[in-house]
Chains A and B, each alone.
Chain A
Amino acid sequence: MSLDKATVASIATLARLRVPDDRLEPMVDELNNILGWIEQLSEVDTDTVAPLASVTGHSLPLREDVVTDGGYPDRVTANAPESVHGFYAVPKVVE
């Protein structure tokens, strides 16, 4: 599986990364280089192997349904690049 420039551009869009045009071509080579190296996994027979879900083998711990958090809007928005009236503000989204 080898990536072309268009595919790399669409992955960048999916990942919300602005990649300047002059970076796109070198990135195609870098990614293909890495993916080519990763390909060696296809040598491994995994037909009967279950994927590893957790190294500890534990199952999910559950917490009680009690309100223990929140109530600090200032802390929540303290680091925001832009906040107005307690909201975060972003460029307008058109539905």
Chain B
Amino acid sequence: MASLLDFSLVDARAALAAREISSVELTRAYIDQMAATAGRNAYITATPDKALAMAEASDTRLAKGEGGAMEGLPIAIKDLFCTEGVLTTAGSHILGGFIPPYESTVSSNLWASGAVMLGKTNLDEFAMGSANVTSYYGPVENPWRSTDAPDKKRVPGGSSGGSAAAVAGRAALAATGTDTGGSIRQPASFCGIVGMKPTYGRCSRWGIVAFASSLDQAGPMTRTVSDAALMLGAMAGHDPKDSTSAAEPMADLSAALGQDVKGMRIGVPAEYRMDGMPREIDALWSQGIQWLRDAGAEIVDISLPHTKYALPTYYIIAPAEASSNLARYDGVRYGLRVDGDSLAEMYANTRGEGFGPEVQRRIMIGTYVLSAGYYDAYYLKAQKVRALIRRDFDLAFETVDAILTPTAPSDAFAIGENEDDPIKMYLNDVFTVPASLAGLPGVSVPVGLSARGLPLGLQVLGRMFDEGSVVRAGRALELAAGFDVSAAAREG
């Protein structure tokens, strides 16, 4: 019998339903693996006792033939989701000791569907980063090593780096992530797993520590596209507590998984073929195009002319919103307080010590671009360009059903690399940010290895609320690529 850790969500679910395995057994296997891989620092907080208690309750329900869509399946939660009674840090010193007296809607939905919580995964501080190196709790190690420098520890991508590393390294069967500019898809690509960002509004933001409210969106990080569809179904849903939550009904994702791509029109945007992009990524992209064509899709060349402006647009809007969202961390009601002689000093001391350099940098940028006299030139301008970026997509989707692009411009780099220059780091999200600005759903599917043996993903984007097409094309890529998702675990 295959190791318990090799099950996908879907297979584990079937095995649990058939009573071939118990949730406690499965959960114990994961708890053991979490301990064995603790050095990778994928978790900030492990909750093994809670996990076992939840697993026992699941087994009781399963024994009675009851249980929800995720019954008994052990998963990890990005430490950006508030979890009642469990330390929630957002990867920041400033939330030190914060125990939320409430549970985020998305995690509540998961527990209601029977999922078992293994712990809270590491992340870039306040989800600001693309390498999981800005966490107050230290960097996360990608379970993958390159063939050319096997002793070098590699980043898992970010900001959902802990979740990606945990899923790839078999320290969680699946995990939640959040994606503001690529924070699910890019780490999924770096770690060789599937990461899906649904349409903005699909998953409630209630109880998720806010980074940039108009962009933040939760999604599943899993080993297969089918797993992503299953888990997204459990996470998503209209939530009256989030004014931006959408009521549009979700497509039948299991039906979409069963459909091939025959007759689908897949767009390939010229602007994503960028100067200086590694040849192997270009080649993989061409390979992906060929796979979909072979599977019966029609490939259409499209243009998304404002693509190059997406990153600078994002680096106005996201810091602006963040500078305001992070104003609540002031040492008064929760988290860190560093005393001062006056209220203003207490604020400045607390925030100066509590926020790391990247968060401070973004707060500074955000404060500046919103400040008197600069609003029109920066923030308003960015929201206008954002409208143009969205219009590019709207026009493209008049002729195509989905868009195929690379997920990230590189494979996983070593810890310590790209840290000298913020912009270099920001460029990691060049392919993921445009869809974030537009609010569109997207999935990163692992499809191959770079020359040095590190995973690479391709990204499928869909229309607003059309997760069905995303899943459909993603599944076709997965089938054609036949990527070995358990490789990382064996490496590790």
Contacts and interface: CB of A to CB of B under 8 A. Distances in A.
The reply to whether A and B meet directly (CB within 8 Å) is yes
Contact of A63 (B199, B240, B351, B386): B240
Given A16-B348, A80-B333, A34 B97 contact: no
Interface residues of B, number: 71
Interface residues of A, number: 54
B364 A15 contact: yes
Contacts of A15: 323, 351, 363-364, 367
B361 A14 contact: no
Contact of B343 (A11, A39, A51, A93): A93
A17 B385 contact: no
A27 B365 CA distance: 11
A79 B383 contact: no
A88 B335 CA distance: 13
A34 B315 contact: yes
A49 interface: yes
B244 A54 contact: yes
Contact of B368 (A20, A31, A37): A31
A3 B380 CA distance: 20
A56 to B, nearest CB: 5
A40 B312 contact: yes
Given A31-B364, A35-B365, A41-B313, A79 B214 contact: no
A7 to B, nearest CB: 8
A70 interface: no
Nearest to A10: B371
Contact of A91 (B342, B360, B388, B422): B342
Interface string A10-32: 01111111111000000100110
Contact of B309 (A44, A76, A77, A79): A44
Contacts of A60: 243
Contact of B334 (A3, A42, A80, A92): A80
Contacts of A12: 348, 364
A16 B309 contact: no
A91 B367 contact: no
A25 to B, nearest CB: 14
A56 B339 contact: no
Among A38, A75, A92, find the residue whose CB has the most chain B CB atoms closer than 10 A: A38
A59 to B, nearest CB: 10
A44 B464 contact: no
Interface in B320-365: 323, 327, 330-337, 339-349, 351-353, 355, 360-361, 363-365
A70 to B, nearest CB: 13
B438 A11 contact: no
B340 A91 contact: yes
Given A75-B101, A88-B333, A91-B342, A55 B364 contact: no
30 contacts: A11-B364, A11-B367, A11-B371, A13-B348, A14-B367, A15-B323, A15-B363, A15-B364, A16-B344, A16-B347, A17-B348, A17-B360, A31-B361, A33-B421, A33-B422, A34-B423, A38-B312, A41-B309, A46-B385, A46-B388, A49-B384, A51-B383, A51-B386, A61-B240, A61-B243, A79-B97, A79-B99, A88-B333, A91-B340, A91-B341
Nearest 10 A/B pairs, CB to CB:
A55-B439, A18-B352, A51-B383, A79-B334, A81-B337, A46-B384, A18-B348, A16-B347, A52-B387, A75-B101
Given A1-B377, A50-B384, A79-B99, 14 more contacts: A16-B344, A16-B351, A17-B364, A18-B348, A20-B352, A30-B422, A51-B386, A52-B386, A54-B244, A60-B243, A78-B99, A81-B332, A91-B342, A91-B345
